[in-house]
Amino acid sequence: MVSNNQRVKRAQIVDAAKEVLATQGLAACTARAVADASPLTKSAIHYYFRDVDEIVDVAMAEHVDAMLVGLRRAAHEAVAGERLWRVVEAYLATFADRPHAAFLWFEYWVAVSRRASVGAAAAMLDRVRDLLVEVLDVSEPDETADRVLSWLLGTIVQQQVRPRSSAVLRSELARVVE
Distance CA 19, CA 29 (A): 9
- pLDDT of 15 above 90: yes
pLDDT-derived band of residue 140, with 50, 70 and 90 as boundaries?
A: very high
For 159-166, the CB contacts below 8 A with 24+ separation are: 159/92, 159/95, 159/96, 160/95, 160/99, 160/102, 160/103, 166/89
Average pLDDT, the chain: 95
Domain ranges of the chain: 1-49, 52-177
- pLDDT of 174 above 90: yes
Report in angstroms the alpha-carbon separations of 41 from 30, 102, 150. 12, 30, 40
CATH of 1-49 given 1.20.1300, 2.60.40, 3.40.50, 1.10.10: 1.10.10
- pLDDT of 100 above 90: no
Segment 95-99 shows an average pLDDT of 88
- pLDDT of 80 above 90: no
Q: Residue 124: its pLDDT value, please?
A: 95
pLDDT tens-digit readout, 26-77: 999 999 999 999 999 999 999 999 999 999 999 999 999 999 999 999 999 9
Q: Residue 98: its pLDDT value, please?
A: 87
- pLDDT of 126 above 90: yes
